[in-house]
Amino acid sequence: MEEDARLSRRTAATKDLLLKEVPKVSGIVHIGLGNFHRAHLAVYTALAMQERGGNWGICTYSIRSEGLTNSMNDQDNLYSILEIGPDTESAIIPGIHTKSYAGPKDLQSIIDQIANPDTKIVSLTITEAGYFISQSSQGLDINHLDIQSDLISEKSKTIYGILAQALKKRAKDHGEPISILSCDNISSNGTKFRRLLLEFIELMPDSGLLSQYLKESTAFPNSMVDRIVPGTEPRHLAMANSRLGLIDSIPVPAEKFTMWALEDNFIAGRPAWEVAGAIFTNDVSSFEIMKLRLLNGSHSLIAYLGALRGHQTIPEARFDTLIGKALNQALFAEYLPSVKMPIGIIAEVYIDQLFQRWSNTFLEDKVYRVGTDGSSKLPQRITEPALLAIRSGSKPKMLALTVSSWLMCIAPFNAFDSGPVAKQMRDPFKEKLQELSTLSNSPSEFIDRFFKDSGVFSIEIASNPVFTSLVRDYFEAIYSEGIAKVIEREI
């Protein structure tokens, strides 16, 4: 491989670079470097700077993984975004990132960067699991070992420890305001994260100054983010080479569709994201609920039923006749009645777009990726629509089937063969659920143990006899009959 062929500031064709020069100031620190951030907030920010300018370069930090950070640094913090679909062969290079840090060795560097008065926004894509939410209290899971460690050690492992150190330094050094922007799939993500961070800080010794700074000099805008961004595969490396004429070791595959709705609540300023298509609204919750239930909830159903049916990709699963019928029932009979659509968005049009996105055979989003971390995703996608259906006198069959299928994927009972795709799914509760399965003498006993002892779902739904009975019945039926017969009988 010739050195000149590698993507860098020196080799990138200017027509592909959104920003021709490296931003001089890091106005944003982003925690949670990954494909989604690189194809979403990074693009909106680069387009905003392209149109309106500003000091909005992005400095990134990955809490654990160093591999991507090393590759970013090797390529002058450049990478390409490959839009993949039947009507696009686009490849763009945002050119918005200034520095990339990762892991314990760079912890002090990112703390100093957040404390720097030039930094006006800290944005987050740390996944639902990174918020350490207790389903029983809906507050911070203060018993988690990583949270306990961060309360007594400066070797921070969580977003709470990192921000507590950085904001404390900021408060002491100059007290300039800052906004914390969550870009994760959590309902009322800004409001909720502010409460969780305050809970953490109030457990710290000598938290008075920091607590006051948080209450007076920080903002936590709510936001809804939407773009399907799969993991990078070898075929994407070849695609980047073909489209760019350069070697990019870290391209980001992404669908063409993108949406971002957020509150205009930035205490220290922000980029002109609206010129890139961002929607500023006082009704972010409507966008959140629409997306969490219609897209994300249905996505989970496709993934878990698809895994048990042996499908590798989302389009394969979506085109499965049985799964298609279950998907329609879940969407129209169980999710949609619980959703108040945002003004200007028509339900039928939005759902039609969803089916088009799930049908993108060029993108080939992986079932195991969508099914990973179900324990932190399903509670907020399933709970309210299921309870609303029960209160109205109907049974949320497909929502319960989603939970049963997830459990059979993650903790198959008594050597049930859930298939190779399910085995690829990761989950922070996987070990605990498998232990509960091993301790149980029957599928029914396992479900009882799950709702009683796992803490995945809130007490309200974990003690609801209609929902728990449905989950129990479907789990037993999957175990004894297989997923196909269960879907056939229930549709």
Question: 13 pLDDT exceeds 80?
Answer: no
Answer whether residue 179 shows pLDDT above 60. Answer: yes
**Cα-based distances in Å from 84 to 228, 369, 444:** 11, 17, 44
pLDDT given at position 4: 59
Number of domains in the chain: 2
Taking the C-alpha atoms of residue 110 and residue 62, their distance in angstroms, rounded to an integer, is 10
pTM value surpassing 0.75:
yes
Q: CA-CA distance, 125 to 165, in Å (whole number)?
A: 19
Q: What is the pLDDT of residue 88?
A: 86
What is the β-pairing status of strands 259-262 and 223-226?
antiparallel
**For position 228, what pLDDT does the model report?**
97
Which of 228, 257, 280 represents a domain boundary (last residue)?
280
User: CB neighbours of 339 closer than 8 A, spacing ≥ 6?
Assistant: 289, 290, 293, 294, 347
Q: What is the pLDDT of residue 14?
A: 76
The CATH number for 138's domain is 3.40.50.720
Neighbours of 419 (CB within 10 A): 19
Rounded to whole angstroms, how far apart are CA atoms 438 and 170? 49
Domain end call among 280, 315, 344:
280
User: How far is Cα 388 from Cα 381, in angstroms, rounded to an integer?
Assistant: 12
CB 115 within 8 A of CB 26: no
Mean pLDDT for the stretch of residues 161-185:
97
Does 333 share its domain with 452?
yes
> Is 274 in the same domain as 302?
no
Q: Which of 235, 256, 280 is the last residue of a domain?
A: 280
pLDDT at 316: 98
Could you give the percent of the chain with pLDDT greater than 70? 99
The string of pLDDT tens digits covering residues 108-127 is 999 999 999 999 999 999 99
Report how far apart the first and last C-alpha atoms of the chain are (Å, whole number): 55
pLDDT at 446: 98
Mean pLDDT, rounded, for 244-258: 96
Question: Which pLDDT band, with edges at 50, 70 and 90, does 65 fall under?
Answer: confident
Range of the domain at 236: 3-280
Quickly state the pLDDT bin for 147 (edges 50, 70, 90). very high
User: Taking a C-beta distance cutoff of 8 angstroms, is the pair 27, 121 a contact?
Assistant: yes
Question: Residue range 217-228: average pLDDT?
Answer: 98
Asked whether the predicted pLDDT for residue 421 surpasses 80, the reply is yes
In this predicted structure, the answer to whether residue 3 has a pLDDT above a threshold of 60 is no
> Is there a single domain that holds both residue 305 and residue 271?
no
Tokens describing residue 250: 């870290």
Q: For residue 1, is pLDDT > 70? A: no
Residue 418: C-alpha distances to residues 162, 309, 429, 439 (Å)? 39, 9, 17, 19
Which of these, 112, 48, 50, 103, lies nearest to 73 by C-alpha position?
Answer: 103
> For the chain, what is the mean pLDDT?
96
What's the pLDDT score for residue 177? 98
- Report helix angle 159-173 to 189-202, nearest 10: 80
Are 210 and 339 in a shared domain? no
CB-CB contact of 85 with 362 (8 Å): yes
Mean pLDDT of 240-258: 96
CA distance 471 to 173: 54
In this prediction, residues 321-338 reach a mean pLDDT of 97
pLDDT in the model for residue 114: 98
Query: 407 and 272, same structural domain?
Result: no
- Residues 147, 41 share a domain: yes
Confidence of residue 396 (pLDDT cuts 50, 70, 90): very high
Identify the three-state secondary structure at position 303. helix
Burial class (CB in 10 A: 0-12, 13-18, 19+), 217: middle
